[in-house]
Amino acid sequence: METSADENTEYHIFNQHYFYTRDRVTDFRDGLGTLKEHEEKWSTNNPVHAVVMTRPRPPLRPATFKKQDASPSIHGVNLGKKEDLLNPDLLKRYTLTMVGREMLNGRPALVLDFKPVSNDLPIFNIKDRFLNCVAGRAWVDEADFTLEKVELHLTQRVTVLGGIVGSVSKFTFSFDRERTPDGYWFTRDMDWHLEAHEATIPRVVDHHEKVTDLQKMP
């Protein structure tokens, strides 16, 4: 959690040192699986004219920069945000179990399984309905204590206003991160799959993002 508190600042500085291309592909299907819409978007991060900052050092402090990358939205809830899973108030919703160690990109990582601490967690807003039903696995870099990979899913169907507004029957989300030689972490791949109803209309959405052409600028 201490490492995560400073990651937005680190990410901002990473963007000032590295050129890369981000590709986004989203497919929208109906309940029968027929493709209704296909979106492809790409963007580049070019730090040529950036004002370069020095890298922050401990003590760690709350981030002062916001990420500009969009998170998956379910009925207005950004469930896919990595920061949400590392917020101390939200972490207490889950039981964490270390299940072993694995090598990721040549670096040792701790493997943690997480699931809701109970089936009767308090609900104060729409976001709580989703977060109370999230379970999955996380990989934490053993040297940097950075969240390197996550795979999560909903454990049960989630309704909004009793199903009148909509419901989500399935949601899976994952991301993979890499570390540059000079110590900056960035999200290389992100995928999510959604099966939901908006009122009575079934929707299936698949989304993929990938960072390519990574180059450190002189």
What are the tens digits of pLDDT across the range 48-70? 755 444 444 444 333 333 334 44
Distance CA(59)–CA(200), nearest Å, equals 51
pLDDT, residue 126, reads 76
What is the CA angle 28-31-32, rounded to 5?
Answer: 100
Record the pTM.
0.78
Q: Which residues contact 156 (CB under 8 A, 6 or more apart)?
A: 133
Which residues of the chain fall below pLDDT 70? 49-87, 161-165
Residue 139 CB contacts under 8 Å (≥ 6 apart), including other chains: 102, 104, 109, 110, 111, 112, 147, 148, 149, 150
The Cα–Cα gap between 137 and 114 comes to: 6
